[in-house]
Amino acid sequence: MTKKKKNAKKPAPERRASEEKATRQEEAAAAKPKPGKKGSVALETAESMARKQREISVSEFFLKNRHLLGFDSPRRALMTTVKEAVDNALDACEEAGHLPEISVDIAQTAENRFRVTVTDNGPGIVRSQIPKVFAKLLYGSKFHRLRMSRGQQGIGISAAGMYGQLTTGTSTHILSRSRNQKMAHDIAVQIDTKANTPTIISDDERAWCPEFFPTQPDGKPGKPISYAHGTSVSIEMEATYVRGRLSVDEYLKQCAIVNPHLQLHYRVRLMRSDDKDEKGPKTLPADETTPWISYFRGVNEMPPPTREIKPHPHGVELGMLMAMLKDTNSRTLQGALSQDFSRVSSKTAKEICERAKLYPNARPARIAHQESEALYKAINETSLMRPPTDCLAPIGEEQIVSGLKKEIQADFYTAKTRNPAVYRGNPFQIEAGLAYAKPGENEDLNAEEPVRLMRFANRVPLLAMSGACAMTKSTTGVNWKAYGLSQPRGSLPFGPMVVMIHIASVWVPFTSESKEAIAHYPEIMREITFALQDCGRQLSHYLSRKRRADEAARKRNFIELYIPHLALGLKEILDLNDRQEKTVVNKLGGMLERTHLDV
């Protein structure tokens, strides 16, 4: 006690030094080094190492590596959470055939804390699935199928909940009601990160209809809209809210552009003080007083529905083929080939068997063990139709141009939708669009700066990690000088222009689990390049037309300058009067008007 007092009297730095020494000693004593050759760190043997080997749960892994999921900073955490929730809502609405109506409500709860609530009019989720869908990583319906959708991994929304839980200790709250339920489920879950399993914190039923609050075009609040079914998810987390290119605002704006069938209501409520100088205690403004920003539906039709496909034989590796033959429900090789793969009719299957010198009636599991290499070779030597493409729903050239027109004020627009192509057996389709403003016409687009690149995958805007994306790489790889733009070596072209690229695929290969950048598959980069070159050629026509027109105007101005002098000369030579001189000027001017100057 005496010592403590003595310490307390010492000036701060010294006190800390003596305490540091004590801490160090205590730690050294706790470490208790085992005998070993080198210093005090124990050396390992095969046996001591074996005792330390442990399984790592996937949730522990991603908790420690949460930057892989897009939770590396409080700012990005907010964006990723909104993105995952909105993507899920859109997918659910589209699969159930409901025109999506979604609200995003962001409310500040403390200095660095926000609550994100996303509500949709989707089909709802049955009670038994709610805990796993929202509090188990790698769980979902989209991973095991080949069909175009926004979500594909079964990680996103559970990861957002896990991040909220990690930073604030709170639970993910879900409200969900399906069409034939009277009451909604009101469930709170957390994730047991050691086991990657959901823990149910509370489980109630209550009356609830998803409600949306549109703002009328004149800014006044409209009548609230409510639906008989839907889901609402609410997560509180450490986050910061900022505006700008990588913000929630920008994400939702771009989301509305590429999803014209989406109706979206959005608001951010920041804590503020009632005093004018913001000195008093800060509180959240009342619910009713904060207006919503509404993005209204542009079209009343859903995008064309997409079909699930089976894997294409030419994209299947030997090891995968063996696994598929082992697991097939078919009793014969011929049956397995024609039922489990796309583009293999029973006739083609027979042809493949013959080529591989195998009996069409052989047991698939036996082939998997013994003759799979011959079969694999035969499959790859057989010419097959390309994979079906009704699994893809591109945006379309017209929609891209009208989306760009709505968003970007410019002088020239063009778009190109490529035919579907294939990487590793997966069909994909690339679309690109350009909007070019006359220099000075659009103050957001500076002619002296790199063009603005907007990236989309399966109708989801990609904002972060632009540098790691195949779309950026392909855009810098195109020779834009050939189309009339300046371009420093290895850089994006410069100019008052927006470039938009979209990939639609049954499996988009992202460079990380946060799904913000496309991996550098050569097939994909080639298609992007072709789409951009097509747009570039259109741009080049526009620019050279524009240049010709500018040149003609310049020449005309030049000649116009001389007309009075010419008239004066004629007046002196021919001894004309002033009226006649004026007539000459007018006539020459008229001639110039009529002439299409050939530049």
Residues between 485 and 504 with contacts to a second copy, criterion CB under 8 A: 488, 490-491
Give dist(CA 210, CA 100) in Å, integer.
12
Smaller CB distance to a second copy: residue 92 or 463? 92
Give the range of 78-86, 126-134, 246-254, 395-403 binding a second copy by CB under 8 A: 126-134
Binding residues among 81-110 for a second copy as defined by CB under 8 A: 92, 95-97
In the complex with a second copy, the residue whose CB is nearer, 126 or 299, is 126
294, 331 contact by CB (below 8 A): no
Q: Which of 201, 206, 150 minimizes the C-alpha distance to 181?
A: 206
Q: How many residues does the chain have?
A: 599
Window 405-444: residues binding a second copy (CB under 8 A): none
Distance separating alpha carbons of residues 3 and 389, to the nearest angstrom: 80
Using CB under 8 A as the binding rule, whether residue 223 contacts a second copy is answered as no
Among 38, 182, 279, 594, binds a second copy (CB under 8 A): 38
Strand, coil or helix: 386 = coil
DSSP label of 41: S
Q: Toward a second copy, which CB reaches closer, 23 or 595?
A: 23
Amino acid residing at 153: Q
Own/partner pairs for 506-509, CB < 8 Å, 24+ apart? 506/146, 506/147, 506/148, 506/309, 506/391, 506/392, 506/426, 506/427, 506/428, 507/146, 507/152, 507/426, 508/152, 508/428, 508/457, 508/458, 509/423
Give the footprint of a second copy on residues 131-150 (CB under 8 A): 132-133, 136, 138-141, 143-145
> How far are the Cα atoms of 39, 439, 498, 557 from residue 445, in angstroms, in the given order?
62, 8, 8, 29
Q: Does 238 bind a second copy (CB under 8 A)?
A: yes
- Which C-beta is closer to a second copy: that of 175 or that of 435? 175
Specify which residues 263 forms β-bridges with.
101
> Which residues 546-585 are close enough to bind a second copy by CB under 8 A?
none
Sign (positive/negative) of CA torsion 150, 152, 154, 159?
A: negative
Nearest-angstrom CA–CA distance, 425 and 311: 7
Listed ranges 217-225, 433-441, 511-519, 570-578: which one lies at the site for a second copy (CB under 8 A)? 511-519
Query: How many residues sit close enough to a second copy to count as binding (CB under 8 A)?
Result: 109
- Site membership for a second copy, residue 523 (CB under 8 A): no
**Part of the chain binding a second copy (CB under 8 A), chosen from 128-136, 254-262, 567-575, 589-597:** 128-136
- CB-based contacts of 182, cutoff 8 Å, min separation 6: none
CB 276, CB 197: distance < 8 Å: no
Identify the CA nearest to 223 among candidates 231, 211, 232: 211
Q: Which residue of 41, 183, 549, 574 would you call a contact of a second copy, by CB under 8 A?
A: 41
Contact criterion met (CB below 8 Å) for 309 and 338: no
Binding to a second copy by CB under 8 A, coded x per residue (else -) over 187-206, reads ------x-------------
x/- string (CB under 8 A) for a second copy, residues 248-277? ------------------------------
Which H or E element spans position 7? Answer: helix 2-9
Among 8, 9, 11, 27, binds a second copy (CB under 8 A): 27
CB closer to a second copy out of 39 and 219: 39
Instruction: Please report how close the Cβ of residue 275 comes to a second copy at its closest, in angstroms.
Output: 26
37: contact with a second copy by CB under 8 A: yes
Q: Which is nearer to a second copy, 294 or 332 (CB)?
A: 332
Comparing CB distances to a second copy, the nearer of 348 and 414 is 348
In the numeric block, which tokens belong to residue 237?
Answer: 């987390």
Subset of residues 46 to 65 that bind a second copy, contact rule: CB under 8 A: 46-47, 49-50, 52-58, 60-61, 64-65
Residue 598 binds a second copy (CB under 8 A): no
Residue 183 found at the interface with a second copy (CB under 8 A): no
* Separation CA 83–CA 122 (nearest Å): 16
Site string for a second copy, 371-400 (x = CB under 8 A): -xx---------x-x--x------------
Tokens (6 digits) for 343: 């583009």
Nearer to a second copy, 311 or 536 (CB): 311
Closest to a second copy by CB, 8 vs 561, is 8
Site string for a second copy, 289-318 (x = CB under 8 A): -------------x-xxxx---------xx
- Give the span between the Cα atoms of 599 and 588, in whole angstroms: 19
- Give me the helix-helix angle, 318-327 and 372-381, nearest 10°: 110
Residue nearer to a second copy on the CB measure, 4 or 276: 4
Residues 325-364 that bind a second copy (CB under 8 A): 338-339, 342-348
Interaction between residue 242 and a second copy (CB under 8 A): no
Q: Which of 84, 214, 227 has the alpha carbon at shortest distance from 150? A: 84
Q: Which stretch binds a second copy (CB under 8 A): 173-181, 414-422, 556-564, 581-589?
A: 173-181
* Identified binder of a second copy from the candidate list 79, 233, 465, 539, rule CB under 8 A: 465
